[in-house]
Amino acid sequence: MIRAGIIGGTGYTGGELLRILSKHPEVEVVAVTSRREKGRKIHEVHPHLKGFYEIEFIEPDIDRLSECDVVFTAVPHGEAMRYVPELYESGLKVVDLSADYRLRKDKYEEAYGKTHEAYIEAVYGLTELHREEIAKARLVANPGCYPTGAILAAAPLAELELIERVIFDSKSGISGAGVSPTEFTHYPNLHEAIVPYKITDHRHYYEMEQELGRFQEDVRISFTPQVFPGSRGILTNAHIFLKGELEQDELEKIYRKFYDCSYFIRFQKAVRLSYVRGSNFADISINRGADRAVVVSAIDNLVKGASGQAVQNMNVMFGLDEWAGLDFPPLFP
């Protein structure tokens, strides 16, 4: 059994890691940390998991975590870099769910306007794009939720340098905003609403630019995120203006080839968030219009957009089946 630890186990991504790993056939969670909740049982913080864990939250203590084979860091951006270097040096494997190691150093410093004080080179953990490097990596930077949905929708065309311009108009469930109440998550502010935010300057843009730019240097990307009244899910409309003529069936061929052997990519005539809810699938539909192609992707932001993909990456890092412990069906309706 792989011994897993989680730094920051009280948030939504921590809870989701616990949910998924509770049934993973090859993993045992041996340590979960929380400064605030240390000494409490898992189910006192995550009542839905009552009956699944007997352990208690502990202080984030590298010594106690060093008995792990893998550690997931599920703490806020900026905080992960306090743990990752030491964990990395101690020789175990790390999957970081924060934004701290997703960008190359130069891009990070452009995006954040400051020096990265604890930089280590990581592999960007969009599994479908980087399987081989992930298999050899000791530090995987798990992608952002929006970039996961966006990059998956455009990568096959970027690889062939066919994109003139792409506009990602993305809609997320509010769980992406985390477990702490804010004006943003206040029920009446989201009720019967669809709320764009950081309309032209969300930092997830840089991940999209970095990853799609690997394929196609001149790719032009625009991105607007928004939240919709729901807890889970990200639906992304990728409005893609193409270089050259490409019919519907050619587009489909390109996508199917690119994602050949990718267990978690499914093509649907029409995607629905409820078709992927609770699962690690990324569903994709391709819609060729007269002016552009609209590729729509649907993921569960907490699974494929966070904790599920983290486990998928762990599977690859340890040579397991990519879908080990993740091959459960979505929850519809």
Give catalytic residues, as residue numbers.
Answer: 145
Among 93, 204, 277, 304, binds a copy of itself (CB under 8 A): 277
Decide: helix, strand or coil at residue 207.
helix
Taking the complex as a whole, the smallest distance from the CB of residue 84 to a copy of itself amounts, in Å, to 27
Instruction: Tell how strand 195-196 and strand 221-227 pair up.
Output: antiparallel
Rounded CA-CA distance 122/95 in Å is 9
Please state the separation of Cα 148 from the chain's center in Å.
6
- Pick out residues in 117-136 that bind a copy of itself (CB under 8 A): none
Give which of 142, 138, 139 is closest to 125, Cα–Cα.
142
d(CA 279, CA 42): 22
Q: Is 41 in the site for a copy of itself (CB under 8 A)?
A: no
Residue 66 touches a copy of itself, criterion: CB under 8 A: no
23 binds a copy of itself (CB under 8 A): yes
- 112 touching a copy of itself, by CB under 8 A: no
Site for a copy of itself in 219-258 (CB under 8 A): 220, 222, 224, 226, 228-233, 235, 237, 239, 241
273 binds a copy of itself (CB under 8 A): yes
- How far from 88 is each of 64, 82, 139, CA to CA, in Å? 14, 11, 7
Q: What residues numbered 81-110 form the site for a copy of itself, per CB under 8 A?
A: none
Nearer to a copy of itself by C-beta: 29 or 140? 29
Binding to a copy of itself, residues 164-183 (CB under 8 A): 165, 167, 169, 171, 173-175, 179-183
3-state secondary structure 217-266: CCCCEEEEEEECCCCCCEEEEEEEEECCCCCHHHHHHHHHHHCCCCCCEE
Query: 136 vs 191, which CB is nearer to a copy of itself?
Result: 191
Give dist(CA 37, CA 10) in Å, integer: 8
Decide whether 140 or 326 has the Cβ nearer to a copy of itself: 326
Beta carbon of residue 183, minimum distance to a copy of itself (angstroms, whole number) = 6
Can residue 50 be called a binding residue for a copy of itself (CB under 8 A)?
yes
Of the candidate residues 35, 78, 194, 321, the single one contacting a copy of itself (CB under 8 A): 194
Cβ 149 to a copy of itself, closest distance in Å? 12
Neighbouring CB atoms inside 10 A of 241's CB total 14
Q: Nearest distance from residue 267's CB to a copy of itself, in Å?
A: 9
* Position among 149, 278, 305, 308 found at the interface with a copy of itself (CB under 8 A): 278
Please name which of 166, 80, 73 lies closest in space to residue 117, comparing C-alpha atoms. 80
Cα–Cα distance measured from residue 292 to residue 6, given in angstroms and rounded to the nearest whole number: 43
CB atoms within 10 A of CB 37: 17
Assess 186 for contact with a copy of itself (CB under 8 A): yes
